[in-house]
Structure formats: C-alpha cells, structure tokens
Amino acid sequence: MEMRPLGSTGLVVSVIGLGTVKLGRDQGVRYPGGARIPSDDEARELIHAAADLGITLIDTAPAYGTSEARLGALLAGQRDRWTIVTKVGEEFEGGVSRFDFSAAAVRASVERSLARLRTDRVECVLIHSDGVIENAPAIDDTIDELERLKARGLVQYFGASTKTVSGGLRSLDRCDVVMVTLNLAAKDDLSVIAEARKRSKGVFIKKALASGHAAVGGAGAGTAGLGLDPVGASLRFALNTPGVSSVIVGTSSPTHLAENCRVVGGV
Ligand code: NAP
C-alpha cells in the first residue's frame, strides 16, 4: 500500500482510506441499491481486510449512525495502527440531519466521539459542513474551538469537509486538512486541491466513485464509455491528481476494498 504525507501535518496515511457511512447508517443515503448495515461478523471481517491490505486510515462521523461506536469496539486493542478521522457539526437522527457548529456543540461532539471510539485522541476532526457554515463568519468560532481541542490534545489536526469551492478555499486559511469531492463527473474542487497543494495542506477525497454510481455506470457519474474498469479509472484519476493525500472510499465489502487497492496498484 502506497503511503503519503498528509500535507505538512507529519502524519502519513494510506492512499486508500476506508469510509464508514455504511457501517452504521442505512437511511438518507444515495448509494445505488441503498445501504444494508453489516452484521458484527461482517464488520469485523471488513476491518481485518482493511488491515491486511495495509489501509491505515478510517473516516467516520457522528452523522453516520452507529459507525463511531462500532469502530470503538472493532478497533479495540489495535488503536495505534489506525489514523482516525471523525467530524463535528452534523447529527443524523430519525432520518433527518441537524447542524450545530457552535463551540459548545463542537466540544461536546468531540468528547462524545472519543468515548464512542474508546480513545483519548483522534488524529483528525473535520467540520461536517452543510455548505453554509464554510462560507459564514461563524466558522471562525468553530475553528477557535477546534484549536482549543487541539491544544488540549484531544484532536491532533483539524479541517473541513466542504461542499463549495469558495468554502474549500476559505477553509485552507486556518485548517490543516480539507476533504473535497472529486470524481470524473465532479471536478470543481480541483482548484481547492491545487491551492491546498501550494500551501502544503492535507487533502482527502470523498465520493471518488460518485457514491457508487461510477461503478455501475450510472448516468452522470462520468464513467460512461470507460470500458471495463470504471472503478480503476475513477480511483486512479483521484489519486493521480497532484496534492491528493488519500481517497476515502466507502464500502462494506471486503471484496470491493481489495479490488480498490489492487486497481490503484496497492496490492
Ligand atoms: P464513494 O466512495 O464514491 O462510493 C461508495 C459506494 O461505492 C458504495 O455504495 C460501495 O458499495 C461502492 N463501491 C466501493 N468500491 C466498489 C467497487 N470496487 N466496486 C463496486 N462498487 C464499489 O462514496 P461515499 O461513500 O459517498 O464517499 C466516500 C466516503 O467519504 C464516505 O464513506 C465518507 O467516509 C466520506 N464522505 C464524507 C462526506 C461529508 O463529509 N460530507 C460526504 C460523503 C462522503 P459496496 O458497499 O457494495 O462496496
């Protein structure tokens, strides 16, 4: 597995990371065919497969249902081999998202994430943007609190998972890391990635497979006419973009995870 530096943080991460929406949430998702929450045995097999493949990076969030709590149990005894990314600002309950980016909510969220993940610190926390906060003056209060959490040692690095180019660019001013969308049908954030590279910031990619639609040749996924390997073409496009640290691919399938590592030359 190829490893890359996460900007200038000093962390080094596997170029494929494991996205864990599907580990804990089956509502409000846009995957082809929806999502089925894996059993405990299936979840354990997925984490074992990730470790065997050399993946060191896991992305979760309070908004991913039981994902954090399940990871807490699954990673017990192997905490130090993983770089954990979680988020703040979004809650998903009863099929509905709620957003609160206030300092108090951010502090409470991180403390709860640490309890759920059964750890005393996470390597990275991202603002789980609703697309508005990233362009609003109030983001400075959110970031001030993340800096305090960093000073307390609960969070090593922080950043924002953004939805707009302006928000991505703005978040680079005060963040260590940005998470942006990049796939063959969604290239707007290339300008954010280029700027992040100039400033030596870490870059995570989300939705590299257009939330799975690229793999099944879905309309608008940018993979029509790519022939037999739309997954490989999509993942290589993201990873070969200068400045990208790691592509976080969501999957609940050990077979897909292995394929994703193989097509980028990892194993
Ligand atoms: P994605 O990685 O583009 O696609 C995931 C989908 O692709 C899943 O349905 C998965 O199904 C399928 N898939 C994966 N590998 C495959 C393969 N080799 N062959 C066929 N299908 C394959 O989309 P995403 O999950 O939306 O985004 C990735 C991660 O980014 C998320 O899990 C999350 O961690 C993060 N994210 C963050 C935000 C945010 O911060 N706002 C938003 C979206 C995503 P199987 O389970 O069947 O493999």
Instruction: Report the pLDDT value the prediction gives residue 226, as an integer from 0 to 100.
Output: 67
Give how many domains the chain has, as a whole number: 1
Q: Which whole-number Å values give the CA distances from 115 to 77, 107, 110, 111, 207, in the listed order?
A: 15, 13, 9, 6, 28
Distance CA 247, CA 236 (A): 10
CA 69-248-87 angle, 5° bins: 45
Query: Ligand 1: residues within 6 Å at CB?
Result: 19-22, 31, 59, 128, 161, 179, 206-212, 215, 231, 248-253, 256, 259-260
- Ligand 1 atom closest to the Cα of residue 126 is 40
CATH of the domain at 60: 3.20.20.100
Domain span at residue 104 reads: 3-263
Give tens-digit pLDDT for 200-249. Answer: 999 999 999 999 988 887 666 777 666 678 899 999 999 999 999 999 99
How many angstroms separate the alpha carbon of residue 207 from the centre of ligand 1? 6
pLDDT 10s digit of each residue in the chain, 267 long? Answer: 999 999 999 999 999 999 999 999 888 888 887 878 999 999 999 999 999 999 999 999 999 999 999 999 999 999 999 999 999 999 999 889 999 999 999 999 999 999 999 999 999 999 999 999 999 999 999 999 999 999 999 999 999 999 999 999 999 999 999 999 999 999 999 999 999 999 999 999 999 999 998 888 766 677 766 667 889 999 999 999 999 999 999 999 999 999 999 999 854
Given the residues 64, 101, 158, 204, the one annotated as active site = 64
pTM, whole model, 2 decimals?
A: 0.95
Rounded to 10°, the helix 254-263/40-53 angle is 20
CA 231-16-189 angle, 5° bins: 75
- Ligand 1 atom closest to the Cα of residue 59 is 34
Residue to mutate, 15, 18, 20, 21, ligand 1, most ligand atoms under 8 Å from C-beta: 21
The full length of the chain comes to 267
Q: Known catalytic residue: 157?
A: no
Tokens of 76: 């017990």
How many angstroms separate the alpha carbon of residue 104 from the centre of ligand 1? 30
Contact, 97 vs 91, CB < 8 A? yes
Place of tokens 């609190």: 145
Residue to mutate, 126, 164, 207, ligand 1, most ligand atoms under 8 Å from C-beta: 207
- Ligand 1 atom closest to the Cα of residue 32 is 9
Residue to mutate, 125, 129, 171, 209, ligand 1, most ligand atoms under 8 Å from C-beta: 209
